[in-house]
Amino acid sequence: MSKKINIKIIAAELGVSPSTVSKALKDSHEIGRETREKIQAFAKLYNYKPNSLALSLRNQKTMNIGVIIPQITHHFFTRVISGIESVANQKDYNLMICVSKDLHEKEVKNVEMLTNGSVDGLIVSIANETLEKGEFSHFQRLVDEDFPLVFFDRVAPNLKGDKVIVDDETGGYNAGKHLIEKGKNRLAIITTPEHVTVGVMRERGFKKALDEQNKYYNQNYVIRVEEKFDIEKQIDQLFQLKEIPDGIFAVNETYAAIAMKCTMKRGMQIPRDMAVIGFTDGVISKLTTPTMTTIAQHGYNMGNKTAELVLQRIDEKENEKLPYQTVVIQTNVVEREST
Amino acid sequence: MSKKINIKIIAAELGVSPSTVSKALKDSHEIGRETREKIQAFAKLYNYKPNSLALSLRNQKTMNIGVIIPQITHHFFTRVISGIESVANQKDYNLMICVSKDLHEKEVKNVEMLTNGSVDGLIVSIANETLEKGEFSHFQRLVDEDFPLVFFDRVAPNLKGDKVIVDDETGGYNAGKHLIEKGKNRLAIITTPEHVTVGVMRERGFKKALDEQNKYYNQNYVIRVEEKFDIEKQIDQLFQLKEIPDGIFAVNETYAAIAMKCTMKRGMQIPRDMAVIGFTDGVISKLTTPTMTTIAQHGYNMGNKTAELVLQRIDEKENEKLPYQTVVIQTNVVEREST
DNA sequence: TACAGCTACGAAACCGTTTTCGTGTTAAAA
DNA sequence: TTTTAACACGAAAACGGTTTCGTAGCTGTA
C-alpha cells in the first residue's frame, strides 16, 4: 500500500512548516493569502484528508459510537441499528458495531476493545449468556467511571445506567386482551427461558390479561423454547394436547410463524380454529399467509431514542450530571389476518 | 466522564518513567523484577488497558476492517457480515460497519471516513445509486494507492480490485431449469431495474435456461420492480394478464413471498397452479406456507471468503502483489414446497 | 529615532504508546 | 586497580495532527 499524504509531506513539499499547513487548511488568516491558497490547492490536488486517528488522539474525541448487539442476523436489532445510525449520522457520529453472539466472553472483549479510546459512547443490548450468569462487572466498571453508556432491550435490572426498553408487559397484556376480544378461550404462550427478561415481562403482561378476564392460565399452554433444540418440535407440543389451544401469543416473530405453520399442517384454519399473534418488528409478518397480527416493537424509534440518550451523555458536562433515565417505548397492536 | 488511567499516570504514581512502565507491562527483562511486578500489580489493580488509538497511530495498524453495505436490514447482508466477522475475529480484527443506504453521497463519505486511518482494509457492497451513476472515483482512488479493498455481491464491472460474487447467472439458469423440470411452461421473472447487476445476471441465466428448452421468453412475463412504488401492485400485473404464468422466478425473497401471496389471493394453488422459486439466503423462505423453494446464496460463505481476501491483501508485502482475484460463490437449489 | 503594533510564520508541546539509544551504577574479570 | 560487561532504567523520537506562544521583519506614529 502506497503511503498516504499527510501534513508533514505537504509542508516539506512546499517548504513551509507543518503548523503553517495545518492553519492554512483551516483558513486561518494568521497565514498570508498567497501561502494559504498555495497550500489549499496542493492539498486538494493530492486529495489530502486528515488522519482520523491522530485527530481523535489529539482532541480526545473519536466521533464514534460503539454498538454491541447479541446477533446481527435478527431483524429487530438491525432496525434498532438503523434508528441509532440515523440520529448519530445527523450529528456526524459514526458507528462501530460489534456482535457478542450472545456469548459473555465476546461481550467482555468487545466492551474492552471499544472503550479503550475507540468510541465516545457505548450502546449495548446484553448477551443472553451474560444475563444467565448475572456477571455485569465489565459494565459496572464503565458506570463507575461515568463512561457514556446506554442499554436497550436486553438490560440488567440491577445495573445503574440509562436504558431504553420496550413496554413488554403492556405489550403482552395487549396481546392477551386482543386474543380474548377475538373470542378465544384457551390461550397459549410461546416464550423464552426464564433468564431472558423480555420474555418474562411479556409473559407477565399476558398472564395479567388472562387473570383480569378470569381465564385459566394453563401451564400446559406455556412453551419455553430452548433454541438449541428443534424449535418446531417444541412448539408442536401444543398440538399434541388433548385440548388444543385456540389462541397463541408468541413472544417473537419466528415462533409465531412456526406456530402458524404447525396450525396449518394440522389442517386447522387461521384465525377460525386458531388465532396467532406475534411480538415483533420484522418483515415476516406481512409476508405470511395469512398475514400475521403483531405487537409492534418500533425498533427504529428505540434506536433513535437510544442514540439521543448516549449523545446527551457524551455532551454532558462533568458538573451537570443528570440522573439515569429509563425510557419506555410503547408497543401497539397491528391487526392483520391471523386473529 | 472520569479520566482513564494511562501509562503516564502510572509512571508518575510509581515514580518511574513512561518507558519503564511500557516495558514492564510487556514483561521485558530489561526492567528489574521488583519494579516490574510493582508496575504490573498497579496496572492490574486499576484495570489499565492501552489506548487503542495511540497504539494504532504508533503501529500504523488499526486491527479494524471497514465494511460498507447498502442496507443493514437486509438479511443477506447481515449473513455476509456474520461470515466476515467470524474470519476477522479469529485474526483479532474488529469490524467497523457503515451503511450507505444505497446513497452515493453517504457511500463516498463512509469511504473517506474509514480510509483516513480508521481501518486497515475495506469491504464494500456498492450502493445502488453509485451503480446507477457509474461514479466510482472514490473507489478508483483506493485502488490506485493499493489500499486493501474487496467488493462483494454488488460490484462494479469496470473497476479493478478483488471481488466475491455469487454465480448469479448459473443461479438464474438453475431456477429456470428447475421450473421447467417441474413441468411449467409459462415462466415469468420478477427482477430489478437494469442497473442492478445481480438482477441482470440472474435474468440472463434464466433466459438461457428458457432458450435451451425452446421456451418463449415473453416480455409480458418480465416485471422490473421499482421499489419506490407499491411492490405488490407491480407484481400483481402478472395476474392481470390474459394468460397467467404458471411459474415465477423472483430474484429475491421478498418478491417471491409477495408473488406467493398474490397467487393465493387469487385462490390459485401452489405449486399446482403456480410454482414459485426465490433467490435468497433469508429466513422467510422456511416460514411461508407453503415453504419456498430457493436458490441459496450462501451469504455466510461469501463473508468468509471476502474477509480472507481482504486479510490477504492487508498482510501482503509491497513487492509480492498478487493479481486481482474474482471469487465466484456457487448457488444451489433448495427444494421446498412451492415448486 | 524610538517604540508600538501588526503580519506571517515557526518552534514546541501535547494526545498515549513503543522503541531505540544512551548512561549511571555495580559486579566481575584482567 | 583498571577495564569491561551486565543490569536497570530514562530521554527522546516517532506516529499525524492542533494549538499556544514566540519572534523576525515591517509599517506607522510620536
**pLDDT per residue as tens digits for the range B194-228:** 888 889 999 999 999 999 988 878 889 999 999 88
What is the overall mean pLDDT for chain B?
94
Is the pLDDT at B20 greater than 90, yes or no?
A: yes
Contact B117 A53 (CB under 8 A): yes
Closest nucleotide C1' to the C-alpha of B33: D8
pLDDT level of residue A23 (50, 70, 90 thresholds): very high
Q: How far is the CA of A30 from the C1' of D23 (A)?
A: 14
CB contact under 8 A, B94 and A113: yes
In this structure, chain B runs to a length of 339
Answer left, alpha or beta for residue B331, where phi above 0 means left and psi between -120 and 50 means alpha.
beta
Burial of B8 (0-12, 13-18, 19+ CB in 10 A): exposed
Length reported for chain A: 339
Residue type present at position A140: Q
Q: Does residue B310 surpass a pLDDT of 90?
A: yes
Average pLDDT over residues B176-204: 92
Asked whether the predicted pLDDT for residue A62 surpasses 80, the reply is yes
Residue A152: the pLDDT is: 97
Would the CB atoms of B51 and A117 count as touching at under 8 Å? yes
The percent of residues above 70 in pLDDT, for chain A, comes to 100
pLDDT digits (tens, 9 = 90+) for A160-206: 999 999 999 999 999 999 999 999 999 999 999 988 888 999 999 99
Query: If you average pLDDT over residues B67-81, what whole number do you get?
Result: 95
Query: Which three-class secondary structure string do you get for chain B?
Result: CCCCCCHHHHHHHHCCCHHHHHHHHCCCCCCCHHHHHHHHHHHHHCCCCCCHHHHHHHHCCCCEEEEEECCCCCHHHHHHHHHHHHHHHHCCCEEEEEECCCCHHHHHHHHHHHHCCCCCEEEECCCHHHHHHCCCHHHHHHHHCCCCEEEECCCCCCCCCEEEEECHHHHHHHHHHHHHHCCCCCEEEEECCCCCHHHHHHHHHHHHHHHHCCCCCCHHHEEECCCCCCHHHHHHHHHCCCCCCCEEEECCHHHHHHHHHHHHHCCCCCCCCCEEEEEECCCCCCCCCCCCEEEECCHHHHHHHHHHHHHHHHHCCCCCCCCCCEEEECCEEECCCCC
Q: Cell numbers for A203, please give them.
A: 409473559
Chain B residues touching residue A25 (CB < 8 angstroms): none
pLDDT tens figures, A269-324: 999 999 999 998 888 999 998 999 999 999 999 999 999 999 999 999 877 889 99
What integer pLDDT is reported at residue B213 of this predicted model? Answer: 85
Gap from B54 CA to chain A (nearest CA, Å):
7
C-alpha cell belonging to residue B233? 401492485
Q: Do A254 and B75 touch (CB under 8 A)?
A: no
- The confidence score (pLDDT) of residue B320 equals 81
* Average pLDDT of the residues in A129-149: 95
Residues of A whose CB is below 8 A from B54: 57, 117
pLDDT of residue B135: 95
Nucleotide with smallest C1' distance to residue B23 CA: C18
* All domains in chain B, ordered by first residue: 7-50 (no CATH), 63-166+300-330 (3.40.50.2300), 168-296 (3.40.50.2300)
CB-based contacts of A269-273 (< 8 A; 24+ apart in sequence): A270/A337, A270/A338, A271/A182, A271/A337, A271/A338, A271/A339, A273/A246
C-alpha cell read off for A172 = 403482552
Instruction: Report pLDDT for A281.
Output: 82
Residue pair B40/B25 in contact (Cβ under 8 Å)? The answer is: yes
The confidence score (pLDDT) of residue A10 equals 96
Span A227-243, average pLDDT: 93
Looking at residue B194, what is its pLDDT? 87
